[in-house]
Amino acid sequence: MTHPLVLEVRSALENAANPAKAPQMQAYMKSVMPYRGVAGPEQKAIWKAAFAAHPLSSMKEWQQVVLTLWRGAAFREERYAAIALSDFRQYAPYRTMKSIPMFEEMIVSGAWWDFVDSIAARSLGAVLRTEPSPMSKLMRRWARDADMWKRRAAILCQLGFKRDTDLKLLYDCCEPNLADEQFFIRKAIGWALRQYAWTDPREVKRYVKANKARLSSLSVREALKNVG
């Protein structure tokens, strides 16, 4: 029997669907999975109402509902709902190392930047803050994984950390990827460095200078975009 939260999300998305916008959204995201055509603000309103109406009582139920939304998605917005539920503030205590297999599945099967970046910056980052030692070890392993999206996630997991950034972890996640020719990896390295440059521009300039021969021009350009 399908969980009522899942049914409400799917019904609300169907009711809010805009067939005129859906193809444009799908084309922009280069998505094989179709869209309902529901804009971001409308999505947030749907999540807020559905999540409030159907509170989840355990980590097990939370994971089951998230994965039901994710695996059974016929439209991309349903996967956005799964990500929103996985990041919902009420379930912050559930975002621990025990939730990593769920996030890993979403990253690997989602395999596109809109999914991966949100999960990395918010959910993986949350686990890293609460359990830094085991999570740091895992991110270092992911940074060397055969799956490109896990490597991107490892590089981006500290995007919002500012002064709390573990520089050694950031550099350790970048290091095995400096020679990678994939656009999404090069962009991630530059983005992660650019974010830290808001906190310590001198350190980012130093790192870029020290590694200029190994960093791609895209990574360098992104890293120094906001540095005088």
Question: Is the distance from CB of 197 to CB of 168 less than 8 angstroms?
Answer: no
Residue 173: closest CA among 129, 217, 137, 220 = 137
Tokens of 93: 């205590």
What pLDDT, on the 0 to 100 scale, is given for residue 21? 97
What pLDDT, on the 0 to 100 scale, is given for residue 1? 86
Given the candidates 3.30.1130.10, 1.10.340.30, 2.40.50.100, 1.25.10.90, the CATH classification of the domain at 1-88 is 1.25.10.90
What pLDDT, on the 0 to 100 scale, is given for residue 133? 98
Question: Is the distance from CB of 197 to CB of 224 less than 8 angstroms?
Answer: yes
- Domains of the chain: which residue ranges? 1-88
What pLDDT, on the 0 to 100 scale, is given for residue 62? 98
Enumerate residues 6+ apart whose C-beta is below 8 A from 186.
180, 216, 218, 219
**Residues of the chain where predicted confidence (pLDDT) is lower than 70:** 228
Enumerate residues 6+ apart whose C-beta is below 8 A from 162.
196, 198, 199
Residue 47: closest CA among 2, 76, 83, 100 = 83
DSSP result, the chain: ---HHHHHHHHHHHHH--TTTHHHHHHHHT-SS------HHHHHHHHHHHHHHS---SHHHHHHHHHHHHHT-SSHHHHHHHHHHHT-GGGGGG-SGGGHHHHHHHHHHH-SHHHHHHIIIIIIHHHHHHSHHHHHHHHHHHTT-S-HHHHHHHHHTTTT-GGG--HHHHHHHHGGGTT---HHHHHHHHHHHHHHHTT-HHHHHHHHHHTTTTS-HHHHHHHTTT--
SS3 readout for 155-206: HHCCCCCHHHCCHHHHHHHHHHHCCCCCHHHHHHHHHHHHHHHCCCHHHHHH
